[in-house]
Amino acid sequence: MNARQLRKLGRALIHDLDLDTSATAETVCRRLVEVIAQRTQREILLRFDDLGDTGLSGLWAVTADEVNIIVVTTTRSWVHRLLIVLHEIAHMVCGHKPAELTAHEGRALLFPDLSPKMVKIIAGRTGLSRDEEREADRVAGVLTRALLEWAGRQRIEPFPPDGDDLGTRAWYALGYVPERGRHV
C-alpha cells in the first residue's frame, strides 16, 4: 500500500469506528476488531491474556475453521494494547499469512487456560518476514496517526479540578488558578 492508500484507509476506519468522545483505548481496541471483521467479512476474536515470558506482546492466528484470533498481552497499558491490536490488524490488512492452528490449538487459544508454552509454539510457526513486520508497523503507524488526529479534533468541555484527589493537587501544583480557570 502506498502512503495515499494508507491515509485513505485510516480515514475510512475512523469513519467506520464511529467513536464518541468518551471512547477509551479499550473501547477502540474492541471496536477496531469489530470494524475489521465487518470489512474483511471474517470472524475475528480478540483475547487479552498474560503471555508470560514468551517475549511476545501479541499474535494473530487462524483456526482450522477460519476463525481469526488476536491475542494481546495484559501486561501493558491499554494504550500499548491498542498499538499491539493495530499491528496485528495491519498484518491482516496487508494480506500477510497468520499462524495456522490445529483444532486442538484453536481450542487452547479460545479458552482461558492458555499457557505461555502454547503461545511460543503457535508464534514459532508464524512465517512472517522482517519486511512483513516492518510493513505491519508502517500500516499500524498510519492507523495510529489517524486515531490521534481524530482525538485531536474532538471538542471536550474543560472541567475545573475540584476535590482533594491526586489529580486536583497536580493541577494546583502546575499553577492552576480557580478564579481565572487557567495556568499562571
The residue extents of the domains of the chain are: 3-153
Residue 94, phi then psi, degrees to nearest 5 = -80, -5
Q: Which DSSP letter does residue 97 get?
A: P
User: pLDDT of 150-171, one tens digit each?
Assistant: 888 887 666 666 777 776 777 7
Report the C-alpha gap between 147 and 8 in whole angstroms: 13
What's the Cα-to-Cα distance from 167 to each of 26, 77, 172, rounded to whole Å?
A: 22, 19, 9
Residue 114: Cβ within 10 Å count: 18
Q: What is the pTM of this model?
A: 0.76
**Closest to 61 in 3D by CA, of 113, 9, 107:** 107
pLDDT digits over 74-96, tens only? 877 899 999 999 999 999 999 99
SS3 category, 27: helix
Q: Tens digits of per-residue pLDDT, 11-54?
A: 999 999 999 888 889 999 999 999 999 999 999 999 898 877 77
Which pLDDT tens digit goes with each residue over 97-112?
Answer: 887 877 777 766 666 5
